[in-house]
Amino acid sequence: MNYSKLNLPRIPDIIAHQLETRILEGSLKPGDRLPAERELAVELGVSRPSLREAIKQLVSRELLVSRHGGGTYVTDRLNTSFMDPWQQLVDQHPSLQHDMLEFRHLLEASAAELAAQRATDADLQRLDAAYARLDAAYLGADRSAQVAADVAFHLTVAESAHNALYGHLLASVLRLLHEHVRRSLREMAVNPDTGRQLMEQHQAIHNAIVERRPEAARQAAQTHIHYVRQRISES
C-alpha cells in the first residue's frame, strides 16, 4: 500500500500565522514593537531560530519592519495601501464629500451594531475613555482636538466590532476620515447648539453599545451621519 506524503506545516510558518492573526485582530497594532526575541519565544513556546525565521517571513511581506538595533515593529501597510489616491481626489473634488458621508453611513452603522453584540469589557473601557475625551474636546474651542477625538471615537467603535476588515478598513481611511471630519465641522460652522446635538448623538451611540442594544446602536449611528449630511447641505 502506498501512502501519500503528509504536508505538515513548518514551525516558522505556524509562528508567522500566529503573529499575522494578532495583527489582524488588532492585538498587535501598526507601530507596536514586538516583545524581545527571548520573551516572545518563551511566550509562544518555540525556539528562537524558528521565531527569527517567522519574523523574516513577515518582514519580507512588509507586515513587520526590523530597525537595526531598535527591534521589530508592525508596519502600517494594511492601513495605507489605497489611502493617498483618495486623499488627493477628495481634495480636488469636494462633491465626493457626499460619497464619503454615504460610505460612513453604511460602514459605521454596521460597525456600531456589531460592537453592541461583540464588545469585550476592555473594549467598553476604551469606548468610555474615547467618549470622555470627545466630551472634553467639545467643551473646549480647539477644533483640531475635536476632530482628533471624533475620529478616535468612531475608530474605537469599529475596532469593538471584532471584524478584522471593519477595523483595518476604517484605519486605512483614517487620514481621509480625519480630513472629512475636519471639513464637516468647518462646513457645519459648529456652534454651541450644534456641538450639543453632536455630543448627544455620540452619547446615544456610546450608550447603546454599552447597554448591548444592537439595533439602537445602528439607528444612533445612522441618525448621527444623517444629521451631519443635513447640516452640511444647509451650509
pLDDT at 91: 66
Q: What is the pLDDT of residues 178-191, one digit of tens each?
A: 666 666 666 565 67
CA distance 61 to 143: 38
Q: What are phi and psi of 231, to 5 degrees?
A: -65, -40
Query: Cα–Cα distances in Å, from 93 out to 8, 83, 107, 226?
Result: 52, 16, 22, 21
CA distance 170 to 28: 16
Q: Which three cell numbers stand for residue 230?
A: 443635513
3-state secondary structure at position 144: helix
Domain ranges of the chain: 11-75, 80-234
Q: Which three cell numbers stand for residue 149?
A: 477625538
Q: What is the pLDDT of residues 136-178, one digit of tens each?
A: 998 888 888 888 898 899 989 988 999 878 777 776 665 666 6
Q: What is the pLDDT of residues 4-44, one digit of tens each?
A: 666 778 999 999 999 988 887 778 888 899 999 999 999 99
Fill in the DSSP letter of residue 120. Answer: -
Q: Is 11-75 a domain of CATH 1.10.10.10?
A: yes
Q: pTM here? A: 0.70
3-state secondary structure at position 132: helix
Per-residue burial over 6-35, b = 16 or more CB atoms within 10 Å of its CB, e = otherwise: eeeeebbeebbeebbeebeebebebeeebe
Tell which phi-psi region holds residue 213, choosing left (phi > 0), alpha (psi between -120 and 50) or beta: beta
Q: Which three cell numbers stand for residue 133?
A: 475625551
| 8 A C-beta contact, residue 193 and residue 53 | no
CATH of 80-234, one of 1.20.120.530, 3.40.50.300, 3.20.20.100, 1.10.10.10: 1.20.120.530
